[in-house]
Chains A and B, each alone.
Chain A
Amino acid sequence: NAGVTQTPKFQVLKTGQSMTLQCAQDMNHEYMSWYRQDPGMGLRLIHYSVGAGITDQGEVPNGYNVSRSTTEDFPLRLLSAAPSQTSVYFCASSYGPNQPQHFGDGTRLSIL
């Protein structure tokens, strides 16, 4: 099993560009979530989904969009990148919100 797969691992964008961070899991997990990690801030929840077709906002949702058309995939979209979105992004999945979370290896994103 691949677990949670994030692509790309690294990306550099210019301010104003858009892009999609991909997250896929092969464990048939219903719950998926996106976090960003900034120095000294720990991990902060951006968006999460409790199942296909259902998404909700986390702590820091502004500037990000998500959708969940399948159980396996949960892409994160930056519509107009800003330097404040420079961060490391982690995707996680689990059977449910009360269950152990499994993390991908992260995407390191720099916005110039």
Chain B
Amino acid sequence: GIQVEQSPPDLILQEGANSTLRCNFSDSVNNLQWFHQNPWGQLINLFYIPSGTKQNGRLSATTVATERYSLLYISSSQTTDSGVYFCAVQGGSEKLVFGKGTKLTVNP
């Protein structure tokens, strides 16, 4: 099945810094989503982005489907951005496959 790799596994930032999280996948995809799991365990859908670029406030995402990767950009990070960021993809099947996540810690 399709493989998903996220990098880096851990990231520590000072408040106000920018960051880029990466998601590589092994096959063509019909569906790619970025999620944020907050410290209380809730999973929040950030972007549905099988291709192209989207922006939502300080967050933006780009998926280059032909090169099988997606990037999540966080600008001017805040302590509330802390948590784990997951990339999830769906290839030819009906199953969504998650990466292992990037744990982000933003210090004040």
Which A residues form the contact surface with B (CB < 8 A)? Answer: 31, 33, 35, 40-45, 48, 50, 56, 58-59, 88, 90, 97-103, 105-106
Contacts and interface: CB of A to CB of B under 8 A. Distances in A.
B45 A97 contact: no
Contact of B90 (A35, A90, A97, A103): A97
Contacts of B48: 99-100
Given A90-B43, A103-B43, A97 B100 contact: no
Interface of A is mostly: strand
B25 interface: no
Interface of B: 1, 30-31, 33, 35, 41-43, 45, 48, 50, 86, 88, 90, 94-101
A97 B89 CA distance: 10
Contacts of B42: 103, 105-106
Nearest to B99: A42
